[in-house]
A and B are shown apart, each in its own frame.
Chain A
Amino acid sequence: MISVPLLIIGAGPAGLCAAYRAAEAGVDVLILERAQKLGGQLVKQTHKFFGSEKQFASTRGIEIAKILTDRLEGLPGRVELQTDATVLGFYEDGVVTAEVRGKFMKYHPECCIVATGASEKTLAFAGNDLPGVYGAGAVQTLMNEYGVRPGNRVLMIGAGNIGLIVSYQLLQAGVKVAAVLDAADEIGGYLVHASKIRRAGVPILTRHTVERAYGDERVEHAIIHALDDEWRKIPGSEQQFDVDVICVAVGLSPLTDLLWQAGVDMKYIGALGGYVPLRDADMMTSVKGLYIAGDVAGIEEASSAMVEGEIAGIAAALRLGFITEKNEILKKDCLNQLRQLRAGPGSEKIRTGMALAGAYV
């Protein structure tokens, strides 16, 4: 059993920012990351970020991952990073078990920040199990991390930011996008992303959904149809698209397994993507000393994940007795940043969801 002052689970934007703030205050930090690389899903995000300078606006996600990792060196607290380290269990007595490069390990952290992120949702339609039906994030990984095209012609389901951004990235990789569908009557993502793909000649069909994917061993074509005001199929509106990939971009759900194991109070909040942990303004859950940050706390964006990580890192440092004047000022500033990020008219849903989860809004 290894005792650690602060364990952070996940080295994505939230976890890396939490580690930075905690170590800056003098806390020794251990980060366990399941993947081989640091940065979480930043490593596949080739687009430039929005937000303000503090959240690295106009920097590409792939570059942000490097910045967040590099700045963990030479801080007052020591940051130990373990990759290929999958946390397996979170026990009632606070013991955390993990498989670290094939070896079973047990840790006893004084404080813990869970920053495990999210997983892609799928959509129910006939043939959705065929190879060629991929999550939009999966396609982004395949192209931007490994340099492999998912196929030749793609049908994108979902016109939120992920659907729109990945459509554009498909075009950048030389893949044709037949159309982008969304069941809603409006485009969900930022219009600046939508305009880019429209200018490239890709139709965005709102009030449309996929009906069925056809193919023997992989997707060969798809049938879509239009929806009426009651979300029912409009008879006779079927269209066929000859595509070999159907990309599903219908949202994410928080990866909360470890929080359930830890006995954290959870609540189903649709606006945040599913079951999420209740938390206070410090990002602490109902289990004392157990904090959350990023998509596991409710589906949002990498920008807010970074700020939530900072808040959790500062709060954990304060709880561990590393109290500095700077800490308190920083935390206030972070809370303001979060409020600004969630201030727009498009963030109404997030604000409602966060208020239900007990977060500072």
Chain B
Amino acid sequence: MDSNRILEHPILEFNEGDDLPFSFDGRELMGKTGDTVASALHAAGVHVLGHHFKTGRPRGFYCAIGNCSSCLMIVNGVPNVRVCVEPLQAGMVVCSQDDRGILP
């Protein structure tokens, strides 16, 4: 599942980190401490984070540092969360977002 994790690197060392279970659209996935929601999803092979509210085209992240709002998802019921800068927490319920979002 974590085939996208970098295990060997000439300069950096990535700590193993604790496993953090979370769900994505009902699927049980596993991330690591230090992950954002987006990095955990990407590591698990999830690239489509939602669909455009008008065109229905798939959306992924673009900037990964909280600028561009391409990665908006519903996290624990709250829509429009920029998952590229949202720290992953154990038990998070993450859902892809296909509309403008309704605030709880």
Q: Using known A-B contacts A147-B5, A173-B9, determine if residue A135 contacts B64 with beta carbons closer than 8 Å.
A: yes
Chain B CB within 10 Å, residue with most, of A62, A130, A139? A130
Contact partners of B85 in chain A: CB under 8 A: 35-36
With an 8 A cutoff between CB atoms, is A217 at the interface? Answer: yes
Task: Give Cα A218 to B9, complex, Å.
Answer: 26
Of all chain B residues, which has the CB nearest A35?
Answer: B85
Contact, CB under 8 Å: A135 / B5: no
Q: A53 to B65, alpha carbons, bound, how many Å? A: 29
Q: How many chain-B residues does the 8 Å CB contact rule pick out?
A: 34
Q: Is B97 an interface residue (CB 8 A)?
A: no
User: Which of chain A's residues have a CB closer than 8 A to the CB of B57?
Assistant: 129-130
Contact in complex: A138, B4 (CB < 8 Å):
no
B95 contacts the other chain (CB 8 A): no
- Provide the residues of chain B in CB contact with A122, threshold 8 Å: 62
Give residues 52-79 of B contacting A (CB, 8 Å): 52, 57-68
Of the residues B12, B60, B62, B66, contact of A46 by C-beta under 8 Å: B12
Instruction: Return the contact of B35 from the options A119, A146, A172, A218 (Cβ within 8 A).
Output: A146
Q: Which residue of B lies closest to A60 (CB)?
A: B11
Interface residues in B1-29 (C-beta closer than 8 Å to A): 4-6, 8-12, 14
Interface size class of A (residues with CB under 8 A): 35 or more
Contact with B along A166-180 (1 / 0, CB 8 A): 000000111000000
Q: A141–B42 Cα gap in the complex (Å)?
A: 12
A130 CA to B61 CA, complexed, in Å: 9
What is the 8 Å Cβ interface bit string for chain A, positions 1-34, against chain B (1 contact, 0 not)?
A: 0000000000000000000000000000000001
The listed residue (A131, A141, A174, A218) touching B6 by CB distance below 8 A is: A174
Contact A35:B9 (CB < 8 A) given known A131-B48, A146-B39, A148-B4: no
Q: Find out whether the CB atom of A148 lies under 8 angstroms from the CB atom of B12.
A: no
Q: How far is the CA of A131 from the CA of B61 in the complex (A)?
A: 7
**Contact, CB under 8 Å: B65 / A143:** no
Q: Is the CB of A132 within 8 A of B47?
A: yes
The answer on a CB contact under 8 Å between A120 and B63 is yes
A255 touches B65 (CB 8 A): no
Query: For the complex, is A142 an interface residue (Cβ under 8 Å from B)?
Result: yes
Contacts A35-B66, A41-B65 given; does A150 touch B42 at CB 8 Å: yes
Known pairs A131-B61, A145-B39 / 16 extra A-B pairs, C-beta < 8 Å: A36-B87, A46-B12, A60-B11, A119-B68, A130-B60, A131-B49, A132-B60, A133-B62, A135-B62, A135-B63, A141-B64, A142-B64, A148-B42, A217-B48, A217-B58, A218-B47
Spell out A's residues near B (CB within 8 Å). Answer: 34-36, 41, 46, 60, 62, 119-120, 122, 129-135, 137-139, 141-150, 172-174, 217-218, 255
Would you list the 9 A-B pairs with minimal beta carbon distance, nearest first?
A131-B60, A138-B64, A147-B14, A146-B39, A119-B67, A131-B47, A141-B64, A148-B43, A147-B6
